[in-house]
C-alpha cells in the first residue's frame, strides 16, 4: 500500500527556511518515515524573484509570496513556521484554524501570554504541533537522556549551561529584527537562552525559581536602510548615519532551582568574543557526570565515580547503532552534524503525525520554556528570585 503523503508548506526563506528544507529533503531517504513528506510550497517576504529562486534552490515544488495564501491552501497538511518570532502566534493560529499540523521554530512566541494563546489554539483545533528545539535531536543528547532516565547519574546535583556567540560585537552591526523587542521578544535570552532552558527542562526537570540578569552592552546601532540609502551612506564615510535603539538584551545569565532539588546556572550571550556557536552543558550526579558541547556534537563527555587511579572524563562517541536518533545514519564512527539534527527533527514530526500523538518537543514544551524565560526577565527587573509559573 502506498504511504500516506504529508504535503508541507514552509513559511520563511532565511536561515531556518534553508535548515528545515535540508530536513525535509533528506528525511524520506534516510529515515523512511511512516508517512512520506512532499516539499509542496515555500513562502517568504523577500521580493518575488528571490522567493522563486529560493524555492528552486531548496527543492520546493511551488512558491507563494503571501504566507496567508499558503496556509489557506487545501493541499497543505503541515505548516512549518521558520519566521521571526513576532509572527509565530499569528501564523500558528491561522494554521491551527485551518486544521494543519505545525512545526514552529523557537522561541515559541514573543511572550508568555502569546505562547499560552498558541497552546490553547492547537488544543482547540486538535492539531499536532512541535516546537523546534533542534539540539534535542542530536544522538549524543538522546543518549544523555537515556542515561539519566536509567538512573546512571544517581542523584543529580548540578546543571550548568552556556550558549555563547559573538556575532554582534561590532558596534556597526545593524539593528536587525533580532535586536528589536517588538520583533524578537528578547535578545540572547529568547534566542540562545531558550535552547539551554529547554535542554535543562528536558534532561533534568521542571524549574521552580530563577534569579537572573540581562545586559545590553551596545545600546544604539545603525538602522537598516534601503539599498538607495545605503549608497548615500557610503558617500558620507561608509557608516550608516541613522542609529536606532537596541531594545533587547545582548547577554542573559541566571541561577535556577529545579523542583527536584537540582541547582542550575545558565549564561547566554552574543558578546563572547571568539565563540561562534558554543552551546555546552554539564550535569553532575552522585554516580556520574556527563557533558555535551554542540561544536563537538558527536561526543558525550562521561565521568563515572569509582575509577580509582584511572579516574577522569572520557569521550563517548555517540554513533553506536543502538544510540537513539542514530539508526538511520552511517556506520559507527561516521559522524553527523547540524543539518542532520533537522532531518531527525522532521522525522519526529512525521512519526508523531503517523502515530496520532503530539511530537516531542511539543508546543507545551515551548510554553514551559517561555515561562522560564519570562521569569528570568521579570527577575532581572525586580532583582529578586522569581517563581516560574506552572503552565
Ligand X SMILES: NC(=O)c1ccc[n+]([C@@H]2O[C@H](COP(=O)([O-])OP(=O)(O)OC[C@H]3O[C@@H](n4cnc5c(N)ncnc54)[C@H](O)[C@@H]3O)[C@@H](O)[C@H]2O)c1
Q: Tell whether residue 109 is a contact of ligand X (CB under 6 A).
A: no
d(CA 86, CA 79): 17
Q: Nearest to ligand X by Cβ — which residue?
A: 14
Q: Which of 3, 5, 15, 332 binds ligand X (CB under 6 A)?
A: 15
Q: Which of 36, 73, 87, 303 binds ligand X (CB under 6 A)?
A: 87
d(CA 218, CA 134): 29
Q: Choose the binding region for ligand X from 38-46, 267-275, 306-314, 372-380 (rule: CB under 6 A).
A: 38-46
Between residue 315 and residue 354, which ones bind ligand X under the rule CB under 6 A? Answer: none
Q: Which of 26, 28, 82, 284 binds ligand X (CB under 6 A)?
A: 82
How far is residue 134 from each of residues 293, 339, 366, measured CA to CA in Å? Answer: 14, 10, 12
Minimum Å distance from CB 384 to ligand X? 28
Q: Tell whether residue 89 is a contact of ligand X (CB under 6 A).
A: no
Between residue 171 and residue 210, which ones bind ligand X under the rule CB under 6 A? Answer: 191
Which of 115, 283, 275 shows the shortest CA–CA distance to 200?
283
Q: Tell whether residue 98 is a contact of ligand X (CB under 6 A).
A: no
Which of 44, 95, 87, 35 shows the shortest CA–CA distance to 71?
95
Shorter beta-carbon distance to ligand X: residue 16 or 121: 16
C-alpha cell at 192: 540562545
Question: Largest Cα–Cα distance of the chain, in whole Å?
Answer: 69
Minimum Å distance from CB 194 to ligand X? 8
Q: Tell whether residue 285 is a contact of ligand X (CB under 6 A).
A: no
CB atoms under 10 Å from CB of 355, counted, come to 12
CB atoms under 10 Å from CB of 324, counted, come to 15
Question: Are the C-beta atoms of 114 and 213 separated by less than 8 Å?
Answer: no
Q: Choose the binding region for ligand X from 9-17, 28-36, 112-120, 138-146 (rule: CB under 6 A).
A: 9-17
Residues 6 or more apart in contact with residue 309 via CB below 8 angstroms: none
Shorter beta-carbon distance to ligand X: residue 87 or 328: 87
Q: Which of 9, 23, 33, 44 binds ligand X (CB under 6 A)?
A: 44
> For the CA atoms of 65, 70, 73, 76, what is the dihedral angle to 10 degrees?
130
Shorter beta-carbon distance to ligand X: residue 198 or 301: 198
Shorter beta-carbon distance to ligand X: residue 87 or 255: 87
Q: Tell whether residue 22 is a contact of ligand X (CB under 6 A).
A: no
Minimum Å distance from CB 280 to ligand X? 15
Q: Which of 84, 187, 291, 359 binds ligand X (CB under 6 A)?
A: 84
CA 320 to chain centre: 25
Q: Tell whether residue 367 is a contact of ligand X (CB under 6 A).
A: no
Q: Tell whether residue 9 is a contact of ligand X (CB under 6 A).
A: no
Q: Which of 26, 28, 111, 134 binds ligand X (CB under 6 A)?
A: 134
Task: Compute how many residues bind ligand X; rule: CB under 6 A.
Answer: 20
Q: Tell whether residue 371 is a contact of ligand X (CB under 6 A).
A: no
Q: Choose the binding region for ligand X from 81-89, 93-101, 290-298, 313-321 (rule: CB under 6 A).
A: 81-89
Residues 6 or more apart in contact with residue 153 via CB below 8 angstroms: 147, 283, 285, 286, 287, 288, 289, 290
d(CA 134, CA 186): 19
The DSSP annotation for 73-125 comes to -TT--EEEE-S-HHHHHHHHHHHHHTT-EEEEESSS-SSHHHHHHHHHHHHHH
Residues forming contacts to ligand X in the complex (CB under 6 A) are 12-17, 44-46, 67, 82-85, 87, 105-106, 132, 134, 191
Amino acid at each position: 500500500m502506498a504511504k500516506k503523503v504529508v504535503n508541507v508548506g514552509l513559511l520563511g526563506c532565511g536561515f531556518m527556511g534553508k535548515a528545515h528544507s535540508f530536513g525535509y529533503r533528506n528525511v524520506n531517504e534516510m529515515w523512511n518515515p511512516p508517512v512520506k513528506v512532499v516539499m509542496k510550497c515555500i513562502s517568504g517576504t523577500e521580493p518575488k524573484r528571490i522567493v522563486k529562486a529560493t524555492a528552486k534552490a531548496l527543492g520546493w515544488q511551488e512558491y507563494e509570496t503571501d504566507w496567508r495564501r499558503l496556509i489557506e491552501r487545501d493541499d497543505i497538511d503541515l505548516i512549518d513556521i521558520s519566521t521571526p518570532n513576532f509572527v509565530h502566534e499569528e501564523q500558528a493560529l491561522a494554521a491551527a484554524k485551518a486544521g494543519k499540523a505545525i512545526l514552529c521554530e523557537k522561541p515559541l512566541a514573543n511572550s508568555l501570554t502569546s505562547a499560552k494563546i498558541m497552546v490553547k489554539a492547537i488544543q482547540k483545533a486538535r492539531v499536532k504541533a512541535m516546537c523546534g528545539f533542534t539540539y534535542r535531536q542530536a544522538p549524543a543528547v538522546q543518549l544523555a537522556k537515556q542515561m539519566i532516565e536509567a538512573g546512571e547519574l544517581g542523584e543529580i546535583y548540578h546543571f550548568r549551561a552556556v550558549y555563547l556567540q559573538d556575532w554582534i560585537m561590532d558596534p556597526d552591526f545593524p539593528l536587525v529584527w533580532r535586536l528589536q523587542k517588538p520583533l524578537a521578544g528578547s535578545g540572547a535570552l529568547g534566542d540562545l537562552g531558550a535552547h539551554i532552558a529547554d535542554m535543562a527542562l528536558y534532561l533534568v526537570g521542571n524549574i521552580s525559581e530563577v534569579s537572573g540578569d540581562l545586559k545590553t552592552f551596545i545600546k544604539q546601532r545603525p538602522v537598516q536602510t534601503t539599498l538607495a540609502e545605503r549608497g548615500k551612506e557610503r558617500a558620507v564615510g561608509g557608516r550608516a548615519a541613522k542609529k536606532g535603539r537596541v531594545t533587547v538584551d545582548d547577554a542573559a545569565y541566571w541561577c535556577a532551582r529545579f523542583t527536584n532539588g537540582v541547582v542550575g546556572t545558565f549564561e547566554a550571550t552574543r558578546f563572547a568574543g571568539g565563540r561562534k556557536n558554543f552551546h555546552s552543558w554539564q550535569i553532575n550526579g552522585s554516580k556520574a557526570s556527563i557533558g555535551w558541547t554542540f561544536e563537538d556534537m558527536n561526543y558525550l563527555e562521561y565521568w563515572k565515580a569509582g575509577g580509582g587511579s584511572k579516574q577522569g572524563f572520557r569521550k563517548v562517541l555517540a554513533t553506536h547503532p543502538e544510540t537513539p536518533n542514530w539508526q538511520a545514519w552511517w556506520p559507527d564512527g561516521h559522524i553527523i552534524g547540524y543539518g542532520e539534527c533537522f532531518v531527525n527533527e522532521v522525522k519526529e514530526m512525521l512519526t508523531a503525525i503517523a502515530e496520532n500523538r503530539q511530537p516531542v518537543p511539543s508546543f507545551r514544551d515551548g510554553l514551559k520554556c517561555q515561562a522560564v524565560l519570562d521569569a528570568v526577565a521579570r527577575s532581572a527587573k525586580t532583582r529578586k528570585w522569581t517563581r516560574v509559573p506552572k503552565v
